[in-house]
Amino acid sequence: MAVSNPTPTEYIQHHLQNLTFGLHPEHGWSMAHSAEQAAEMGFWAIHLDTMGWSIALGVLFLFVFRKAAKAASTGVPGGLQNFVELMVEFVDNSVKETFHGKSKLIAPLSLTIFCWIFLMNLMDLVPVDVLPMLAQKIAVLFGADPAHVYFKVVPTTDVNATLGMSLSVFALMIFYAIRSKGLSGFIGELTLHPFNTPNNKLVQALLIPVNFLLEVVTLLARPISLALRLFGNMYAGELIFILIALLGLWQLPLHFPWAVFHILIVVLQAFIFMMLTIVYMSLAIEEH
Amino acid sequence: MNLNLTLIGQAIAFAVFVWFCMKYVWPPVMQALQERQKKIADGLDAASRANRDLEVAQEQANETLRESKEQAAEILEQAHKRSNQMIEEARDNARQEGERMIANARTEIEQEVNRAKEELRAQVSRLAIEGAERILESSIDEAKHRELVDKLAAEL
């Protein structure tokens, strides 16, 4: 347990707090010792656990796939190569079915999204106390107060991580839209739809603000929904794991079914993120 | 749940991973996949081609076999014909030879008979002369002699 004798609320709050390093108004650049301190840091703070785990998992993904790619031969494929080729073909087919433009970026982007998010989600299946306790033990060796060592293992339960990815996807969406339709085409799409009166220029001009409002909301809803969907699913799953962990002995029969069910969510959310990215990209390059 | 620098850090990490994947992971795997696809297609192609070749070769072999069988039958027939002819010829030759030999023997026999006849005639005439001499030596009895001579003449 995180604190020597925590109440359930303290336990849950402790589990949901990131390990934060940032610019505190009073202490300068330092580790946050409590949720309040972390909140006071505002924007100039970084979640070390989220960054560490996500980068480690991304590197793991790239390491494994790079290894397979380097060894890729046209002969009979081995186990690892088989797996990697399976993933690549699966992603490639998904992209080809949905995205009809020509782009060298979309397929690797989708593969990275799928595998990376899958691995990050998968961290949810590690029992909730194992890695935080390990982190505490290590931190105590360096003289830290165990109560202040926060450690959140699943990067996708941090809204910063999911928003970081979805905003990158959003930037790519806008880039592709402008590249395929031109700046004027992109602006026209934002202002001349959905209300369109080609015969009356005055009404058309009056409708521009209305159209713009509607289209901008539609456009902005995409990255935000993309990020919040993944975040919400994983956060809720994590929270239920924490609640189950609070039950004492009763957690044993409950953990397993929830973990089994969660496997579905882990894969499904990674797949949904990938598919929606592809769909948004194809929407960006296609004329309405 | 506060938004902070992590968002930007995550975006940068994401961009780097995607770049790495696009540069170093995707192309070799795709290339391997495409090459294998091509290799398999080539293999299937070659297999069907080989099958076709095999069929053609088998047909040719059958054709050759049929032709050679026909030739063999022809040769056999010719040989039969030739042997029959030879036997026929040999038989003809033998018959002719035999006939010739029989004819030769016959003429020889005839000659022999004729010669014997000549000899006999000569002897008869000598005997007649001798008899005549003897008769002439003793006496000539016309009646008796005539009878004798007639008898001799009848003997010839």
Sequence-separated (6 or more) residues with CB below 8 Å from residue A111:
A65, A87, A88, A91, B21, B25, B26
Query: What phi and psi values does residue B40 have, to the nearest 5 degrees?
Result: -65, -40
What is the per-residue pLDDT for A288?
A: 59
The number of C-beta contacts closer than 8 angstroms across A and B is 132
CA distance A242 to A254: 12
Rounded average pLDDT over B40-45? 94
Residue type at position B5: L
Sequence-separated (6 or more) residues with CB below 8 Å from residue B97:
none
Q: Is B131:B125 a contact under the CB 8 Å cutoff?
A: no
Least confident of A114-123, A222-231, B75-84, B114-123: B114-123
pTM exceeds 0.80, yes or no: no
Count of residues for chain A? 288
Helix axes B5-20, A48-71, angle to 10 degrees: 0
What are the structural domain ranges in chain A? Answer: 8-285
Rounded average pLDDT over A263-280? 94
Has residue B137 got a pLDDT over 80?
Answer: no
CA distance A118 to B27: 22
Q: Do B10 and A22 touch (CB under 8 A)?
A: no
What is the per-residue pLDDT for B147?
A: 78
Tens-digit pLDDT profile for residues A194-212: 777 777 788 888 888 888 9
CA distance A99 to A116: 21
Has residue B49 got a pLDDT over 90?
Answer: yes
Active-site annotation holds for A233: yes
Active-site annotation holds for A179: no
The confidence band for A3, taking pLDDT boundaries of 50, 70 and 90, is very low
Considering just the CA atoms, what is the radius of gyration of chain B in Å?
62
User: Which residue among A54, A75, A108 places its CB closest to the CB of B18?
Assistant: A108
Nearest Cα of chain A lies from the Cα of B1 at a distance, in angstroms, of 7
CA distance B99 to A4: 147
Count of residues for chain B? 156
The helices-and-strands tally (H runs, E runs) of chain A is 9, 3
Q: Which residues of B touch A85 (CB under 8 A)?
A: 29, 32-33
Query: What phi and psi values does residue A28 have, to the nearest 5 degrees?
Result: 75, -155
Structure token digits, residue A151: 């450690």
CA distance B9 to A106: 22
Nearest Cα of chain B lies from the Cα of A43 at a distance, in angstroms, of 4
Element (H, E) at A22: strand A20-24
Has residue B155 got a pLDDT over 80?
Answer: no
Sequence-separated (6 or more) residues with CB below 8 Å from residue A126:
A153
CA distance B30 to B155: 138
Has residue B141 got a pLDDT over 70?
Answer: no
Nearest Cα of chain A lies from the Cα of B42 at a distance, in angstroms, of 13
What is the per-residue pLDDT for B130?
A: 81
Helix axes A106-122, A48-71, angle to 10 degrees: 120
Q: Name which residue leads in pLDDT, B96 or A2.
A: B96
Query: What phi and psi values does residue A42 have, to the nearest 5 degrees?
Result: 65, -135
Tens-digit pLDDT profile for residues A231-263: 999 999 999 988 888 887 777 888 888 999 999
Active-site annotation holds for A225: yes
| 3 state SS of A171 | helix
Has residue B1 got a pLDDT over 70?
Answer: no
